[in-house]
Structure 1
Amino acid sequence: MLRVDVTKQLGEFSIEASFASEGRVTGLFGASGAGKTSLINMIAGLLAPDRGKISLDGDVLDDTEKTIHLPAYRRRIGYVFQDARLFPHLSVRANLDYGRRMNGLAFDPAQLTRITELLDIGHLLDRRPGKLSGGERQRVALGRALLAKPRLLLLDEPLGALDESRRAEILPYLIRMRDEARIPMVFVSHDAAEMRQLATQIVMLRHGRVTSFGGVKVLSG
């Protein structure tokens, strides 16, 4: 269960958002400038709320009344950005291993096999990111996040930088992750078709405010 009840002032823009989601994929949906990225940055611990609480499965990540702000590195939350942000000087194999090593986790060859098969990237392990397509780079970024064994995975417009054919290539892998990886996700998008295919619960954001929350039916409301 992800619980969010926060306010944040960002210059002239403010966020006041409150929701609780048990969905496998919580969709944050809204137009550009609605506050989606700022909200997941607070969930990630990259941005502290001015007021409020954030908790995950009962563990408090932020509580301004108690002056709790768990740093990002202690939250065990994975984050996949719009651009893959792979290390260009490292092989795909080394990029995949980065999150595991940074979190001090033991090497798990069975998990590596499971994730590379899930995302169909096993044949890319010895390549460098510069030799990959945009869709392949994003699949490697997803694999790197999963191999760090996060409690929650944040996806900030992961299809936004891809052309239509690459989006069509990646979306089935996101659906497989939802159904097979069993890691709850927060998926940010302004594309209603992507939301309908992937999200199980949707938070509608407009000008930093939650205007509706529920199943995919809220997209037609």
Structure 2
Amino acid sequence: MSVLQVTFRIRRGIDFSGGPIIAEVLTSSAPDATSVQLSQNAWLGQTQAGSKTFSLSQSALEQVISFNAELPASAKSTAFRLRWTSAGVSGSADTLDITEVQIVSASVPTPFVQPDFRETLAHCELYFEKSYNLMTAPGTPSNAGLNAFYVSSTSIAINNRLSTRFRARKTSAPVVKLYAPSGSVAGYFNDESNNLRSVTPLIVGESGFELSITDSTLVGGIWFHYTADAEV
């Protein structure tokens, strides 16, 4: 069982109409549990790993809140959530300002460190990367960042091979999923006519993957996005 230490700063607006606030860490036994499921309290195996209840009495006073959460061994997804009961909007400043949220693997508070985006991205890409732009969800229609293999307007011979290198070597061989730039669920690419064609990565390693193109009816080339997930 691992321990997370959660710290954040919070201040209420002068018109805040809520009562006591509950800060909590929740876990699910399902990987990639969604925020929609969480809002419905429908996470599989949902467990409250840690919480703290507090009140904000003065609008000008910023408070530092800190608490620990003990993650169960079954945890596959984790979320930090704030809950309160609102009495209704009582003014334009019926708000909460939350800053310097820090969640670390520790049992005691540590000083807040402003993360460097480049360092954070480099660390994350040891475990996950995608060809899409940063804020584009996989499966969304988008040509930005796609991978292309084009051979004019001739037919692609059976059993062509296409290799793609990751931007960063992964900690282990990741799960690779391909998506069509026109928008699709995982497992497809676009052909020259923008049709969806199914595909499965042939060889996946820590530094890249290979595709085998075996469709003799394919003309022109293929276009695809990918995600690589070496989940811990």
TM-score, structure 1 as length reference: 0.29
The structure with the greater share of residues assigned to helix is 1
TM-score, structure 2 as length reference: 0.28
The structure with the greater share of residues assigned to strand is 2
Which structure has more relative contact order (CA 8 Å, sep 6+)? It is 1
